[in-house]
């Protein structure tokens, strides 16, 4: 299925929005490298992974060659899993009427998201350029993510928990871990089994924690430019407050240090006080760098 949504941008009536197709891959990759405005929030995916889905569109205009078109903007959004989705990729070659261009690209995507059961679309503003325009598109500022940093190797004393065992993740764990994510987090922050599978292939470390044989949590870490990033630590809500997070974090940190990775970063929401308390106990400190989290509510649009 292919569609075209005609719209006028700065007086241009010869531009169109359509689905991205595999043949657009080269132009899209070049656009992401050269565009004045770009956004990538792909987690463990590649930017082109969504090409060919109803959630990836491009804006085109005629090029100098008679039978060719030039891609001047693109946008991809995808649920993984529903009922939430993120804007994963966005790029605009130049400024102009940014609100109009983004709106034109979102217009054909939102009905598809609604059909997929999505009720909210998130945009994590890793780059600051979208912030002035997102409210005009109906997004609300829902939260902020703050980066925490630890650069020493001190680990506080922790108590022993009987029958607790930490081991590397296996393929058979991924489904139960996705179910654990659904218990522990609101929809926007959940990872699917597919996302965890991709993460596993790229992880610096990925461990699960069991108590008396019951899987109760996990941690997932990735390499960063200067050390390691604790990308995820999830504890079953029914087991929280018993010190399991402290044991798992201690295990992860000691594993980093054995490999010569001494600078550790992580992200947490500014209103997640219990997590901040845990991280500060272990010597993490807030960097002061915050990333706005915007949400477009789709209930009234579907």
- Domain boundaries defined on the chain: 4-143+293-297, 153-282
User: Are 4-143+293-297 and 153-282 equal in CATH topology?
Assistant: yes
Does 3.40.50.10420 match the CATH number of domain 4-143+293-297? no
CA atoms 118, 147, 125, 139: torsion sign: positive
Supply φ then ψ for residue 13, to 5 degrees: -100, 0
- Each residue of 131-176: pLDDT tens digit? 999 999 999 999 999 999 999 999 999 999 999 999 999 999 999 9
Q: Which among 253, 201, 191, 197 has a CA at the least distance from the CA of 228?
A: 253
Average pLDDT over every residue of 65-90: 92
Cα gap 105→254, rounded to integer Å: 46
Cα gap 2→24, rounded to integer Å: 14
Cα gap 6→59, rounded to integer Å: 10
Q: Where are the beta strands (DSSP E) in 131-262?
A: 140-150, 164-168, 205-211, 214-224, 227-235
- Whose structure tokens read 């082109």? 48
Which residues, in sequence order, are bridge partners of residue 52?
none
- Each residue of 118-137: pLDDT tens digit? 999 999 999 999 999 999 99
Q: Which among 245, 219, 84 has a CA at the least distance from the CA of 161?
A: 245
Q: For the chain, how big is the Rg over CA atoms in Å?
A: 21
Q: Are 15 and 70 in contact (CB under 8 A)?
A: no
Q: Are 166 and 182 in contact (CB under 8 A)?
A: no
- Each residue of 233-287: pLDDT tens digit? 999 999 999 999 999 999 999 999 999 999 999 999 999 999 999 999 999 999 9
Predicted TM-score (pTM) of the model is 0.91
How big, in percent rounded to 5, are the helix, strand and coil portions of the chain? 30, 35, 30
Q: What is the CATH number of domain 153-282?
A: 3.40.630.30
Q: Which among 24, 100, 111 has a CA at the least distance from the CA of 68?
A: 24
CB-facing half-sphere around the CA of 200: CA atoms within 13 A: 20
CB count within 10 Å of CB 263 equals 15
Cα gap 260→228, rounded to integer Å: 10
185 band by pLDDT with thresholds 50, 70 and 90: very high
Q: Which among 144, 191, 154, 131 has a CA at the least distance from the CA of 286?
A: 144
- Out of 95-104, 105-114, 201-210, 239-248, which region has the weakest mean confidence (pLDDT)? 95-104
Residue 302, pLDDT > 90, answer no
Residues 6+ apart with CB under 8 A from 172: none
Burial class (CB in 10 A: 0-12, 13-18, 19+), 35: middle
By residue count, the chain amounts to 302
């Amino acid at each position: 299925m292919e569609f075209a949504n005609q719209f006028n941008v700065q007086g241009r009536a010869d531009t169109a929005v359509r689905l991205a197709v595999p043949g657009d891959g080269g132009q899209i990759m070049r656009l992401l490298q050269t565009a004045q405005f770009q956004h990538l929030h792909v987690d463990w995916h590649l930017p082109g992974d969504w090409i060919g889905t109803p959630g990836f569109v491009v804006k085109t205009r005629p090029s100098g060659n008679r039978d060719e078109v030039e891609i001047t903007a693109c946008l991809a959004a995808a649920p993984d899993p529903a009922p939430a989705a993120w804007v994963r990729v966005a790029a605009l070659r130049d400024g102009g009427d940014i609100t109009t261009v983004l709106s034109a690209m979102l217009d054909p995507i939102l009905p598809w998201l609604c059909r997929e059961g999505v009720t909210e679309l998130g945009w994590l503003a890793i780059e600051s350029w979208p912030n002035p325009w997102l409210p005009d598109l109906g997004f609300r500022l829902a939260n902020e993510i703050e980066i925490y940093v630890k650069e020493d190797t001190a680990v506080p004393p922790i108590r022993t928990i009987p029958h607790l065992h930490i081991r590397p993740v296996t393929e058979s764990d991924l489904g139960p871990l996705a179910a654990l994510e659904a218990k522990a987090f609101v929809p926007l922050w959940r990872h699917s089994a597919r996302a965890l599978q991709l993460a596993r292939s790229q992880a610096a470390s990925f461990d699960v924690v069991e108590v008396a044989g019951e899987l109760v949590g996990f941690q997932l870490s990735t390499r960063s430019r200067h050390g390691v990033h604790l990308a995820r630590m999830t504890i079953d809500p029914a087991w929280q407050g018993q010190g399991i997070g402290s044991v798992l974090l201690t295990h992860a940190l000691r594993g980093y240090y054995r490999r010569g990775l001494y600078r550790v970063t992580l992200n947490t929401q500014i209103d997640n006080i219990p997590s901040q308390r845990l991280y500060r106990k272990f010597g993490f400190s807030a960097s002061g760098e915050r990333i706005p989290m915007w949400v477009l509510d789709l209930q009234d649009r579907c």
